């Protein structure tokens, strides 16, 4: 989703901004822009589409010498992805970039328009720069004008503003959307996550909600509602964990193939001979916990849903799961004996972060399962367990989902052990199954090629139903989501036993059913459900270790000893199927239209 970078110093600013923005590219965006003030002069460039369009536009521009600069990648919320709607937004003598949503922008805009301000874009962001310029002439004090502006804004924002009236200064503010400041002596960097500044800054400060201020002459002056405040920076990792495609056609493809390896890393040091242990959590933390509530969005929600079966079955602890955007506004009843878990690959999802804050406010113990250390969700929760999937660049999440599910499976056994509710024999057989997961995730010779060949038959039709039972129902949801995300075909995940209560009315030869038919869990039940669809002429692709005559297409799986081993093996097959259909349709696999990797707006 939208990305922010900023820089104050004497280095070539265009390169720093463009390099920084390219580090944020994988998160999804549809236009980009930069603005620089040097020698008291404002310059800006914007372009729709990929960053290379902006690079092309700026190729003859250089900016050496001291100056201030801001850059942005935009994921459209208010107004289409056009050049006018791209950031930075210009007033008469100032530029602003913004992530988040200004909820009261209509009201502010009306007031400004009444005073004769002309708006060029349809964005909420443009109100910020005009409001600043309306406030400035009152006292001719730029910081006070910025402070007044920020105090008027409602909603979520990370903002950087530069102005010809203070040509050596960047004004900044954060509330709800992530923003950090990087330091390398007198050089100051801003970014919406740490990747753009790794290798450039040595120290970092992650701004808290409600903080704002300015940077001038190599110094950051920070405020919150209590006035000016001091702050502590911390060392920034020096290693750039940049991901390369390593010979694969797409990041998503590489990430699917990496799953076997990263699952070993997820388990490392946690899956011990005698038991499962998480050094991030101790017994005291679980004291008094009688149930679990999990909140998440998208793919992470599917991982949550799968784990709810495991928490109840293996740890014998009641577990409920909610979509974070729904949870936030349902006026939920929270009780202090609930462990509140949030799951997020990015650690920045606005809805999940707000749900987490609500739980904290309600006095619940909170735990984050996340792939990004130092992310907002990790910093906000009481405890966090990192999934160790490594950087995931494909917008359609694959290895992050696998590692989240692995952590949650382990966590169910960990909690069951601490609470004494998991039978030792069961714990042992689950642990043995875990050790088989890396092997089950190796893609056997010929499987990918087979899926590639099959995929040509699934490019049309009037829809896909992915069906499964028990933990294979959330996997069906996830399989359908993967297909939707990158093929743009309509797909739904459904509990197999529920098809007869409505959706079966859609069944005909142009309805594609992707049937997840594990041997180790309710095989006969799902088989009957698939037979019902076959009898109504639905085209069936069955994925199973057991031959199934009624399938039009069939993918034979290798493992059938344990439901979770079957789960992960089938997960890979659904990921590869989505990938191959998307490739045949000529779509952008890694950056599908309209989607973002890090969704920082609600």
**DSSP code of 43?**
E
Identify the active-site residue in 2, 295, 319, 370: 2
Residue range at the interface with ligand G6P (CB under 6 A); choices 96-104, 491-499, 517-525, 590-598: 590-598
Cα(232)–Cα(84) distance, rounded to whole angstroms?
38
2 carries an active-site annotation: yes
Alpha-carbon distances, residue 436 vs 144, 412, 561, 568 (angstroms): 61, 18, 10, 10
Strands 155-163 and 166-175: antiparallel
Question: What is the distance of C-alpha 439 from the center of its chain?
Answer: 27
Is-cis flag, bond preceding 116, omega within 30?
no
Residue 476 region by backbone torsions, left for phi larger than 0, else alpha for psi between -120 and 50, else beta: alpha
Q: Which stretch binds ligand G6P (CB under 6 A): 283-291, 448-456, 523-531, 594-602?
A: 594-602
Considering the complex, what minimum distance in angstroms separates the CB of residue 25 from ligand G6P? 14
| Contacting residue, 276, 304, 489, 595, with ligand G6P by CB under 6 A | 595
Residue 599 engages ligand G6P in binding (rule: CB under 6 A): yes
Please identify, among the stretches 160-168, 237-245, 462-470, 592-600, the one whose residues bind ligand G6P according to the rule CB under 6 A.
592-600
Within 343-382, the residues that bind ligand G6P by CB under 6 A are 344-346, 349, 352
Q: Between residues 123 and 299, which has the closer beta carbon with respect to ligand G6P? A: 299
299 is a contact residue toward ligand G6P (CB under 6 A): yes
CA atoms within 13 A on the CB side of 59: 6
- Tell me whether residue 399 or residue 522 sits nearer to ligand G6P (CB atom): 399
Q: Which stretch binds ligand G6P (CB under 6 A): 41-49, 115-123, 126-134, 338-346?
A: 338-346
Neighbour-count burial for 494-506, b at 16+ CB within 10 Å, e otherwise? bbbbebeeebbeb
Instruction: Check residue 157 and report its DSSP letter.
Output: E
Distance (Å, whole) CA 571 – CA 286: 31
CA distance 589 to 487: 8
Q: How far is the CB of 246 from ligand G6P (least distance, A)?
A: 21
Instruction: Give the list of residues 6+ apart from residue 424 with CB closer than 8 angstroms, or none.
Output: none
Q: Are strands 219-224 and 211-216 parallel, antiparallel or unpaired?
A: antiparallel
Structure tokens at 102: 């200004």
Contact assessment for residue 531 and residue 517, using Cβ atoms and an 8 Å cutoff:
no
Q: Per rule CB under 6 A, is residue 395 in the interface with ligand G6P? A: yes
Smallest distance from the beta carbon of 299 to ligand G6P, in angstroms?
Answer: 3
Q: Are the C-beta atoms of 16 and 67 separated by less than 8 Å? A: no
Between 121 and 299, name the residue whose CB sits nearer to ligand G6P.
Answer: 299
Under DSSP, is residue 30 helix (H, G, I), strand (E, B) or coil? coil
The C-alpha atoms of residue 595 and residue 218 are separated, in whole angstroms, by: 37
Q: Which of 256, 359, 317, 97 is nearest to 577 (CA)?
A: 256
Nearer to ligand G6P by Cβ, of 8 and 24: the residue is 24
Query: Does residue number 597 form part of the binding site for ligand G6P (CB under 6 A)?
Result: yes
Helix (H, G, I), strand (E, B) or coil at 421: coil
Name which of 173, 171, 106, 165 is nearest 138 in CA terms. 165
Closest distance of CB 592 from ligand G6P, Å: 9
| Nearest residue to ligand G6P, by Cβ distance, number only | 298
Nearer to ligand G6P, 338 or 349 (CB): 349
Any idea how long the chain is? 602
Helix (H, G, I), strand (E, B) or coil at 101: strand
Q: For residues 90 and 591, which CB has a smaller minimum distance to ligand G6P in the complex? A: 591
Q: Which stretch binds ligand G6P (CB under 6 A): 175-183, 339-347, 414-422, 556-564?
A: 339-347
Specify the residue, 299 or 366, whose C-beta has the smaller distance to ligand G6P: 299
397 binds ligand G6P (CB under 6 A): yes
Please select the residue that binds ligand G6P; options are 300, 366, 538, 544, rule is CB under 6 A.
300
- Residue among 385 and 599 whose Cβ is closer to ligand G6P: 599
Q: Which of 13, 393, 431, 597 is catalytic?
A: 597
Q: How far is the CB of 348 from ligand G6P (least distance, A)?
A: 7
Minimum gap (Å) between residue 278 Cβ and ligand G6P: 20
Beta strand extents in 436-592 (DSSP E only) = 463-468, 491-495, 511-516, 539-544, 553-556
Nearer to ligand G6P, 28 or 545 (CB): 28
- Give least dist CB 304 to ligand G6P, A: 10
Least spacing, CB of residue 252 vs ligand G6P, in Å: 11
305, with CB counted inside 10 A (0-12, 13-18, 19+), is buried
Work out how close the CB of 310 gets to ligand G6P at its nearest, in angstroms, rounded to a whole number: 19
Active site residues: 2, 597
Q: Which residues bind ligand G6P (CB under 6 A)?
A: 297-300, 344-346, 349, 352, 395, 397, 595-597, 599
């Amino acid at each position: 989703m939208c990305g922010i970078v900023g820089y104050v110093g004497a280095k070539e600013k265009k390169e720093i901004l463009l390099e920084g923005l390219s580090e944020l590219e994988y998160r999804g965006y549809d236009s980009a822009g930069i603005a620089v003030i040097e020698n008291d002069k404002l310059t800006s460039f914007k372009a729709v589409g990929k960053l290379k369009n902006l690079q092309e536009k700026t190729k003859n521009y250089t900016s050496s010498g001291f100056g201030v600069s801001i850059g942005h990648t935009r994921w459209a919320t208010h107004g289409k992805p056009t050049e006018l709607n791209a950031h930075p937004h210009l007033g008469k003598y100032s530029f602003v970039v913004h992530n988040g949503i200004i909820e009261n922008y209509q009201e502010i805009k009306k007031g400004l328009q009444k005073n004769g301000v002309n708006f060029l874009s349809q964005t909420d962001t443009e109100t910020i720069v005009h409001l600043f310029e309306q406030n400035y002439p009152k006292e001719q004090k730029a910081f006070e004008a910025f402070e007044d502006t920020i105090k008027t804004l409602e909603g979520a924002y990370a903002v950087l503003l530069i102005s010809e009236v203070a040509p050596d200064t960047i004004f900044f503010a954060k509330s709800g959307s992530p923003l950090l400041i990087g330091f390398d002596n007198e050089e100051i960097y801003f970014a919406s996550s740490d990747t753009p500044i790794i290798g450039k800054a040595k120290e970092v400060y992650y701004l808290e909600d409600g903080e704002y201020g300015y940077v001038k002459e190599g110094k950051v002056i920070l405020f919150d509602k209590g006035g000016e405040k001091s702050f502590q920076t911390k060392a920034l990792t020096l290693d750039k964990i940049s991901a390369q495609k390593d010979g694969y056609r797409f990041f998503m493809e590489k990430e699917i193939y990496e799953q076997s390896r990263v699952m070993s890393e997820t388990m490392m040091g946690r899956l011990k001979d005698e038991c499962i242990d998480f050094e991030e959590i101790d017994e005291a933390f679980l004291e008094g916990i009688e149930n679990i509530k999990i909140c998440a969005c998208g793919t992470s929600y599917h991982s949550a849903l799968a784990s709810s079966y495991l928490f109840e079955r293996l740890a014998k602890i009641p577990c409920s799961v909610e979509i974070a955007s729904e949870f936030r506004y349902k006026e939920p009843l929270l009780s202090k004996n609930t462990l509140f878990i949030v799951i997020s690959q990015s650690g920045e999802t606005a809805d999940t972060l707000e749900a987490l804050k609500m739980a904290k406010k309600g006095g619940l113990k909170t735990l984050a399962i996340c792939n990004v250390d130092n992310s907002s969700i990790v910093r906000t929760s009481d405890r966090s367990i990192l999934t160790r999937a490594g950087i995931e660049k494909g917008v359609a999440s694959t290895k992050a989902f696998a590692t989240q599910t692995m952590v949650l499976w382990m966590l169910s056994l960990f909690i069951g052990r601490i609470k004494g509710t998991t039978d030792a024999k069961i714990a042992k057989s689950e642990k043995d199954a875990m050790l088989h997961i890396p092997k089950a995730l190796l893609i056997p010779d010929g499987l990918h090629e087979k899926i590639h060949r099959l995929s040509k038959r699934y490019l049309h039709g009037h829809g896909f139903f992915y069906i499964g039972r028990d933990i294979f129902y959330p996997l069906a949801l996830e399989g359908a989501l993967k297909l939707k995300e990158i093929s743009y075909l309509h797909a739904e995940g459904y509990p197999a036993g529920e098809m007869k209560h409505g959706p079966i009315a859609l069944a005909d030869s142009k309805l594609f059913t992707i049937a997840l038919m594990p041997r180790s869990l309710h095989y006969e039940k799902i088989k009957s459900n698939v037979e019902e669809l076959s009898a109504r002429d639905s085209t069936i692709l069955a994925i199973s270790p057991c031959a199934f005559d009624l399938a039009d297409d069939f993918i034979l799986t290798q493992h059938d000893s344990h439901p979770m081993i079957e789960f992960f093996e089938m997960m890979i097959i659904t990921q590869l199927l989505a990938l191959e259909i998307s490739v045949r349709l000529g779509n952008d696999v890694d950056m599908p239209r309209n989607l973002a990797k890090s969704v920082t707006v609600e």
